[in-house]
Structure 1
Amino acid sequence: MAEADSLGKVYGTGEHAVVALAGVSARFHEGEFTAVMGPSGSGKSTFMHCLAGLDTPTSGAARIGGVDLSSLREARLTQLRRERIGFVFQSFNLLPTLTAEENIALPLSLAGKRPDPEWTEQIVRATGLADRLSHRPAQLSGGQQQRVACARALVTRPDIIVADEPTGNLDSRSGAQILDLLRRCAAEWGQTVLMVTHDPIAAGYADRVLFLADGSLVDEMAGPTPDRVLERMRRFDAAQAVR
């Protein structure tokens, strides 16, 4: 469903150049929930942004459904992101003047499309927002706002969900609700879920974890648990300290 092929990203030139990605390759399949982890500055967010067409790689290729994103003009790339990718960020990015229901429908409104009533009802039920649809963001808790953001990401029935630190601003209970929803996206609705996180507990919800360091893919773990992820991060930190 999504593929990174020797993905590289360099910011700046000459002696001021900073290598954010150094040829990262990975494949992401339908119905698979993948977490991407690494220390600050490891390139995990840059990797996700290049793969989802939010940033342009310096080298290599990012493909969605076999389509090389670099081959698309801006209008077509925008359309692909809108129709095939749902985005969830740490900051909820809701429009304060719109109700929860209007925020959820926003991607379809921008595309000039009407919501599918049955699908919308299903995601509202899944996110537990039925009694909050008329509320504006300021009237909602952080967890409720992130659930609105998740419903907004899902309303177009995208093939891929990209989540960048989706639980970073939430308490543990609200975070668990978001992670359960992301896992359901993969397991029940067959969507490809990609999540950047620094939290071993969040990574434990995924089917696998990719570990980045200094812009490179350094390890991969299938069937992660919080304890296994934490131990791997500790070994990584110890190795970094020795360098």
Structure 2
Amino acid sequence: MAITGVGDAAVAARVRDLRKTYGKGDAMVRALDGVTLELAAGEFTAIMGPSGSGKSTLMHCCAALDTATSGEVFIGDRELGGLKDKELTRLRRDEIGFVFQSFNLVPTLSARENIVLPQSIARRKPDPEWFDTVIDTVGIRDRLGHRPNQLSGGQQQRVAVARALVGRPTIVFADEPTGNLDSHSGAEVLDLLRRSARDHDQTVVMVTHDPVAASYTDRVVFLADGRVVDELRNPDRDSVLEVMVRVSAPVEV
């Protein structure tokens, strides 16, 4: 199953025959082995697969944090391989939001300062109305003056999500965003990402290993051995588990 598309929906990002290898000769590892995939605008998509399946590599290549060995990556209608360093920097700043598992907040800055940091670096001010919308969506207004060490893990991750959203990027990538959270805080962050897509037409792509997390999404794409092997629409926990068991099973010879 090399190609998965989004039908008539607008496409926020896509990859074509993407390949990523490490090492040479007998030591070569194929992290991505010809992935072709479209990510729909305004949709919440999960990327899942066994350890070593290539899901994080795919996300990093899509987010311009890593470079593929061959193939093409598009954000909107722009192909990343044709961009110069300054253009790539501008694209990462303006078109891509990223939510890290480890939050990546600056400890000496307040929540508000962390949220607007990318805009400050770019010497821009966030749109006040959109800033208020994001703050109310993440439910962090009463914590804007607090530093990260004064916030719970869930609150820190909500600040990180707000930081990713406030610049109105074309697409937000989230790498195991609930990996360091308890189940309650994790559910809050997942609900926030889902509402960001459904209520504000934000495109969100999340790497996760958790079937419960994947059940919050509109679509799940499954990788194994660097290839797309299956997908689900409108997933629930049990349907995700069923596919995960199948794609993780050893191949009989």
Q: TM-score, normalised by structure 1?
A: 0.97
Q: How many Å apart are 1:57 and its aligned residue?
A: 0.5
Write out per-residue CA displacement over residues 118-159 of structure 1, whole angstroms, 9 at most, x where no aligned residue.
111111111111111111111111000000000000110111
SS of residue matched to 1:55 = coil
Q: Structure 2 matches for 1:93-172, cutoff 5 A?
A: 93-172=104-183
Provide the identity percentage: 61
Partner residue, 2:5: none
Aligned to 2:250: 240
2:97–2:164 CA contact under 8 A, matched in 1: yes
Structure 1 Cα separation of the partners of residues 118 and 252 of structure 2: 48
Partner of 1:204: 215
Q: Structure 1 residue 236: deviation in Å?
A: 2.6
1:27 aligns with 2:38: yes
* Deviations 1:93-125 (CA, angstroms, capped at 9, x unpaired): 000010101000001001010121111111111
Partner amino acid, structure 2, of 1:80:
L
Structure 1 residue runs of 4+, over 6 Å off?
none
In the alignment, the residues of structure 2 paired with residue 110 and residue 12 of structure 1 have an alpha-carbon distance, to the nearest angstrom, of 36
**Secondary structure at 2:142 match in 1:** coil
**Which amino acid is the alignment partner of residue 162 of structure 1?**
F
Per-residue deviation, 1:242:
4.3
Please state how far the C-alpha of 1:232 moved relative to its aligned partner. Answer: 1.4
- Letter aligned with residue 173 of structure 2: V
Unaligned runs of 5+ in 1: none
Deviation string, structure 1 residues 60-95 (Cα, Å, up to 9, x no partner): 100001111010011111111111111001110000
- Aligned residue pairs: how many? 242
Superposition TM-score, scaled by structure 2 size: 0.93
Residue 184 (str. 1) matches residue 167 (str. 2): no
- Deviation of 1:184 after TM superposition, in Å, equals 1.3
Structure 2 residue 233 is matched with structure 1 residue 222? yes
Q: Give the RMSD, CA atoms, in angstroms.
A: 1.1
